[in-house]
Amino acid sequence: MAETAENVPGGECFHKEVLKYSSEEEARLEREHFWRIVDAFRFYRTHVQDQVKRAERQFLSLPQHHQNLVPTVLTNLARISQCADHNQEVLESIIQNSIHMFENIEYGEREDPRKVRASTFDMDKLKSTIKQFVRDWSEAGHAERDSCYQPIIQEIQRLFPSELYDVSKVSVLVPGAGLGRLAWEIARRGYICQGNEWSFFMLFSSNFVLNRCEQVNSLTLYPWIHQYSNNKKSSDQIRPITFPDVNPQSLPLNSDFSMVAGDFVEVYSDPASWDCVATCFFIDTAHNVIQYVETIWKILKPGGVWINLGPLLYHFENMANELSVELSYEDIRTAMVKLGFHIEVENTSVHTTYTENDCSMLRYVYDCVFFVARKPGELYFNCHEDEEQSNSPRAAKSPRREDTEYPT
């Protein structure tokens, strides 16, 4: 099912629009999925405490004279446990603001209120989501945002400069919006911008930061406590970050900014709907990346542009019972050109990171592809008040699937 979320200044909640009736079974699976992710948020403290207890047992199994050589280990583990307690308080706040986040869809009460042990898969997704707060909404993520988001924003401003266009009528879609910072930054510059996200982990968190956080750096998380390896100093593991580094409610009152939940290729089917599609670390989330390319081609207006930055770390590779076609960038580019795209800007070596721990002894650097591709034809969008039309597509039915949501 597709959920739409209005995140304009002062907006209080998301809106979920169902265009056609779902089956009873689909509704049941949707409800189970929703509560499974809620359970993961609530299980977080127990999960981290289990890890801490294991580390304590391992340390205490050492000979006493070895333990005496590193007397601060148990103290540091106790601090990790305290940090997990604090993280859990933030996660509880996120959940409290997510149970009723959709205006016209309710998921009812938890059928079994007993604490449920979340899967390792879901806990990994939750820990990755916590690190997304660093990337999108903390000062610590500023350099990473500059390397990933700024090239996209600069191209949008180059292609649609305010000196030549009424930017309030230029529509930009950001699939795989994550916690929403890229889409928010585009809207802050006056463009119509809509973010699209599929994962409930991301949707819960983006709803919280966009609609419930107003005071700059008023909240604290400890995102690195799950990393027991490659720490130069014990204190690196328990260092905090504060968020949000800006007030998400500070968009101008006339901003047109929204978030839509659902699968990208299911939600966006209206042809010639968007002036620009901006994808960042997104296209490798596809089961079939050519389907993404076709969808972007379809929904772009004639003359519209697709701006992309990211690697090709295919998310479904080696996953059992999941379709995954791993194409090289060369293959994708060939398909784009055959479909009709004109490649106007291309850089096949842009070095970026993703939710990097800048104090870690192990860091991953992605050698990304950046391109701007245009759908040929005269670019049209309305600049006259008496002919103004909405460029945002309606949401469409988008079924969720178990164990397939991945952070972008």
Q: What is the pLDDT of residue 112?
A: 61
Q: What is the pLDDT of residue 107?
A: 59
354 near 366, Cβ under 8 Å? yes
Q: What is the pLDDT of residue 23?
A: 66
Q: At what angle do helices 150-159 and 181-188 cross, to 10 degrees?
A: 30
Is 254's pLDDT higher than 60? Answer: yes
Q: What is the pLDDT of residue 27?
A: 77
Mean pLDDT of the chain: 87
C-alpha dihedral (265, 268, 269, 272), degrees to nearest 10? -130
Q: What is the pLDDT of residue 408?
A: 34
147-156, 224-233, 269-278, 381-390, range with the lowest pLDDT: 381-390
Q: What is the pLDDT of residues 149-169, one digit of tens each?
A: 999 999 999 999 999 999 999
Is 401's pLDDT higher than 50? Answer: no
Rounded percentage of the chain residues whose pLDDT exceeds 70 = 83
Strand order in the sheet with 342-352: 14-15, 3-6, 257-261, 192-197, 171-175, 274-280, 300-310, 366-374, 342-352
State which H helix or E strand residue 250 sits in.
none
261 near 232, Cβ under 8 Å? no
261 near 3, Cβ under 8 Å? yes
Split at pLDDT 50, 70, 90, the class of 31 is: confident
Q: What is the pLDDT of residue 394?
A: 33
Reduced DSSP (H G I as helix, E B as strand, rest coil) percent helix, strand, coil of the chain, to 5: 40, 15, 40
d(CA 114, CA 199): 24
Is 403's pLDDT higher than 50? Answer: no
Q: What is the pLDDT of residues 293-345, one digit of tens each?
A: 999 999 999 999 999 999 999 999 988 889 999 999 999 999 999 999 999 99
Mean pLDDT of all residues in 79-97: 97
Q: What is the pLDDT of residue 168?
A: 97
Note the pTM of the prediction, 2 decimals: 0.86
Question: How far is the first Cα of the chain from the last one, in angstroms, to the nearest whole number?
Answer: 20
Split at pLDDT 50, 70, 90, the class of 198 is: very high
Q: For the chain, what's the residue count? A: 408
Closest CA to 129 of 215, 40, 53: 40
Mean pLDDT of all residues in 126-148: 98
Q: What is the pLDDT of residue 379?
A: 44
Q: What is the pLDDT of residue 28?
A: 81
Q: What is the pLDDT of residue 3?
A: 42
Assigned token pair, 54 = 């294991």
Mean pLDDT of all residues in 70-80: 98
Q: What is the pLDDT of residues 360-398, one digit of tens each?
A: 999 999 999 999 999 998 544 443 333 334 443 332 222
244 near 213, Cβ under 8 Å? yes
Is 175's pLDDT higher than 80? Answer: yes
Split at pLDDT 50, 70, 90, the class of 404 is: very low
SS3 339: helix
Mean pLDDT of all residues in 10-21: 42
Is 40's pLDDT higher than 80? Answer: yes
Q: What is the pLDDT of residue 110?
A: 61
Mean pLDDT of all residues in 242-250: 98
Q: What is the pLDDT of residue 24?
A: 79
Q: What is the pLDDT of residues 92-106, one digit of tens each?
A: 999 999 887 764 455
Mean pLDDT of all residues in 81-86: 98
